[in-house]
Amino acid sequence: MNRGDVLFVGHDAARTGAPLLLLSFIRWLTRHSNLRVALLLRHGGELVPEFASVCTTEVLPTWQPGVGHWMDRWRRRKRLEELSSGSSLIYANTITNGQLIRALAINGRPIVTHVHELANTIQAHGPENLADVLAHTHRYVACAGAVRDSLVAYGVAPPQIEVIHEFVDVPAVTPEDLAAARVSVRARLGLSPATPLVGGSGTTDSRKAPDLFVQVAEAFMARWPEQDAHFLWVGGAPPGSPGHNALMREVTERGLSGRVHFIGAVNTPLEYFKALDVFALVSREDPFPLVCLEAAAYGVPTVCFSGAGGMPEFVEPDAGRAVPYLDTTAMADQIGLWLTNADVRNRAGAAAASQMRAHHTVESAAPRLLQVIEQELRRA
């Protein structure tokens, strides 16, 4: 074992916030440190080849009850012991891997847990998972102050927690790039280049709340009937799927057909974010969504709900606006204010872009994560 060996542990390699952030960090780490890193994933996903291109990557085999399953479990346990003994530090990129953390803690290696989750998600993984994490974690990284507060409520001592906000790797763009995206995205939707466009994004589940996105659109059109704004949701259930059909039925029943668009997952979501005027974060719970940072990079201000997570820490005081929790009318009013006052909207968007570029890039945030790792390695 070498004191520079770090084992990262993730829940999967889906193209979602926490795995994408980890991929950006490992890429940066391999260029800016002498640490030797490896990655263990509980499940696979489409990012596995990208992880494998920058570090040794292993997806833990699953075992199924049945003939020989005790031998499978034994092999799995032995492999975790080998990974633990060959590492100086274990860095868990989620609070949901409690069982793995317990198994990897067998050799007494220090464990850092990077928490990207809030209470409802934590509770959904059960009390045993949380107990394992709390019992074996030496240091926590919280992706937002709201996440830190949640950990404190579970009994974690504040000195154990380092708040390091999420970050993204977004390439720089020119005004010409933004102008071209505005035209092309609207053309795909059958809209004129001047049509105001309000964005939302994410999976189409209750936590991300696409149903509230529809309600915000309805409230906006009732209160601002003279505005021919359209509402675009990127991600989630694909067109034609049961989930997508259910959302479109709601759109139709509320009289919003042709004004609210759910396009499902796309290969180039950033192209759509470049085209937005406003981003509406309607999540019921969301620790610090990367999509708001991606939109901010292009000068798009975000309106979000207070009490839903950490995004008010980014938008306040001047890079967006937080409205009362689940108040869809208040969110609609803020959107209307921005769409009818370009100067106010542009100032908020410029502040969001400046803040994102200064504090939420890989280059600005990754050194702080490296500092946490180095501190724990010195204490090992």
pLDDT > 90: percent of the chain: 87
Q: What is the pLDDT of residue 79?
A: 84
Rounded to a whole number of angstroms, the distance between the first and last alpha carbons of the chain is 13
Q: What is the pLDDT of residue 171?
A: 85
Residues 44 and 66 in one domain: yes
Would the pLDDT of 7 be above 90? yes
Question: Domain containing 122: what range?
Answer: 5-168+362-379
Q: What is the pLDDT of residue 78?
A: 81
Residues 241 and 281 in one domain: yes
What global pTM score does this model have? 0.91
Q: What is the pLDDT of residue 1?
A: 39
Helical H segments across 162-304, by residue range: 175-188, 210-223, 242-253, 269-274, 290-297
Residues 94 and 235 in one domain: no
Q: How far is CA 363 from CA 25, 172, 225, 264, 369, in A?
A: 9, 14, 44, 31, 11
Give the residue-averaged pLDDT of 309-336.
97
Residues 70 and 183 in one domain: no
**Is the Cβ–Cβ distance between 297 and 319 less than 8 Å?**
no
Residues 104 and 180 in one domain: no
Q: Coil, helix or strand for 186?
A: helix
Average pLDDT, the chain: 93
Q: What is the pLDDT of residue 60?
A: 85
Which of 295, 297, 278 is CA-nearest to residue 198?
A: 278
Which of 232, 237, 162 is CA-nearest to residue 199?
A: 232
CATH of the domain at 307: 3.40.50.2000
Provide the number of structural domains found in the chain: 2
Q: Please give the Cα distance from 369 to 164 (Å, whole number).
A: 8
Q: What is the pLDDT of residue 69?
A: 60
